[in-house]
Every structure is written in structure tokens, then in C-alpha cells.
Amino acid sequence: MLQGGTLFLMAIEFLATDDDALIRGRARVGDAEIVVCSDGTCLFDGGAMFGVVPKTLWSRKVQADEKNRVMLGLNCVVVKIGGKNVLIETGFGNKIAPKLKEIYAIQERLPSSLNAAGLSPDDIDIVINSHLHWDHCGWNSVLDANGNVLPYFSNAQYIAHRGEVEHGRHQWERDRISYVSDNYEPMIASGQMRLVEGTHAEVMPGITLECYPGHTQQCMVVHIENGGEHACFVSDLIPTSAHLDVGWVMGFDLDPLRTIEERKRFYSRALPENWLILFPHDHRRCMTELQKDSTGRSVVVKDY
């Protein structure tokens, strides 16, 4: 099947080639439909995104602007399964201070993207936050005309890890900018947010959560399984396809050595079981399958 100038096989039905496309991709996993929506793109410092990897290496994969910023996607994945609309991640949102919005070139596009997918905020039944960094849960809530913080998805159950909330409440100097209480405390107070514990949790039949620590202690991937097929939203375990090498770890990660080991553990299942991988921040390739390269040592995107 030829779409967007590229040949895709198996579950992938469409991948956008335009950075401004409101729908980034579509796929099917058994009877489940996956629609990759978007809160737009943003710009993050390239050094922070690639940690100790020299720029001479990472610049071969991604291009930096004059301020050393690289473009990232804010992919928010809708899964239509079991009669439910499940939204994984909610982007930066619209509560960001003007100066930070300018620095990161935030676009606030998720409402338009959901509309392009034929959905309104009221249509979302479940919202999953893989972790509670501000670029993953910003549209959890919005400000009303009086400045009150309200849940944006009024009919949804929100799901996050209890450890993420506890970490955010502590406001550690290392990462406190990433935890904005308005993105989760109102939903906890209203009873809309379910806080999971431990390393595994079931959201509903066909959707489960699994912790892969490193980026944060309770960073979770989202497994989508239906009809004998398997997709996985990998969260910031592997933020983009440029981070597939186990050693290419972000400077943002709290425990980079753990990230390396967790990626190895992830690949030990994802490759032989041929999972469809959904990236949170790749603005050009929001999903792919993986394979080993010709040497058998490195993990790369699958050639179609």
C-alpha cells in the first residue's frame, strides 16, 4: 500500500510527511484502531536531548537551529478499543508562560488534532500519562475565564503512577520545572485520576502499563494488544528514532545507566515479537517496527 510516498506493510496504514499535519499516523492492531494525534512540534536543546553523545554524531541524524535546538514532535496517541477512546499523553497544553512558550516554540495544537480525528474532549474515556513531565500531560487541564484550573477531558478517567505524583510534589531541584501541579492535582482532588502502583497495571482489556525506569523512576510504556498483534507506546524510554542506540540517552534522564539496561530489556521482547513502536517525540516517524542492522549489533528502524 503506497501512502505519502512511502511503502508500509502490516499494521501501519498512514504516516504523515508534513510536519504541520494534524494527524501524524494511523495503524491497526487487531481490531484496535490507533490514531497518532499531535500537540504540534516544539524545540528542545540538542545537548539536553542527546546527553553525552557528541554533537558531531547526533547532528548526522537531526538538524539543530542557530540556538542548538532540535525539533521534536508532541505525539498524543488515540487508541479506539473495546468501545472506548483512550488518549495516551496530552502534550504541553495551553497553560505555559509566554516566555517559555516562545523558548520552546509551543504550538498548542491538540484540540485541533483531536477534531481532525473526529473527536472532542468529551469523547475521551481514558487519559494515560506515561509520566508527569509537563510536555506529556499539559492538556490534562485548562484555565477557565476566571483563572480556575479545570479538567479538560471532563468525562475521562486519568491514569498516572503514584510515584510520579509523589516525585512531583517533592519538587527536587534536578527536575522541578518539569512537574507542574496544575497538570495532575485538580484531577486527583476531583477523584478523576487513578494512581497505579508497582511495575505493571491493567488499564482495560488490551491495554496495560509497564514501568521502564531511567528517564524517571516510574516512567511507563503502554502496551496495546489485540488480535494477536502488539503495539507499544515507548514514552521517553526511546523518545525518537534517533535514540535507538542503547547508549544514546537524554541528558534529562535521572538514571541514564538504568535507561541503557531497560532499553536492552525492552529490545529483548520487542524485536523477536515484532512490536509496532510508537514514539512520543519523533515528528517525522511517529511509529515503526524495529530490526537489527546487518552487523546484528545495532537496533534500527525496519526497511519496508
Q: What is the DSSP letter of 182?
A: G
Contact call for residues 79 and 204 (beta carbons, < 8 A): no
pLDDT (tens digit, 9 = 90+) per residue, 35-45?
A: 999 999 999 99
- Calpha distance 233→270 (Å, rounded): 11
Other residues' Cβ atoms within 10 Å of the Cβ of residue 67: 9
* pLDDT for res 11: 81
- Calpha distance 72→76 (Å, rounded): 13
User: Structural domain of residue 174, as residue ranges?
Assistant: 2-301
Other residues' Cβ atoms within 10 Å of the Cβ of residue 57: 11
CA 270, chain centre distance (Å) = 17
- Calpha distance 194→175 (Å, rounded): 23
Count of domains for the chain: 1
Q: What is the CATH number for 238?
A: 3.60.15.10
Contact call for residues 229 and 29 (beta carbons, < 8 A): yes
The pairing of strands 84-88 and 126-128 is parallel
Three-class secondary structure of residue 71 per DSSP: strand
* pLDDT for res 3: 39
pLDDT tens across the length of the chain (304 residues): 333 434 344 589 999 989 899 999 999 999 999 999 999 999 999 999 999 999 999 999 999 999 999 999 999 999 999 999 999 999 999 999 999 999 999 999 999 999 999 999 999 999 999 999 999 999 999 999 899 999 999 999 999 999 999 999 999 999 999 999 999 999 999 999 999 999 999 999 999 999 999 999 999 999 999 999 999 999 999 999 999 999 999 999 999 999 999 999 999 999 999 999 999 999 999 999 999 998 888 899 986 5
- The C-alpha cell at 203 is 488499564
pTM (two decimals) = 0.95
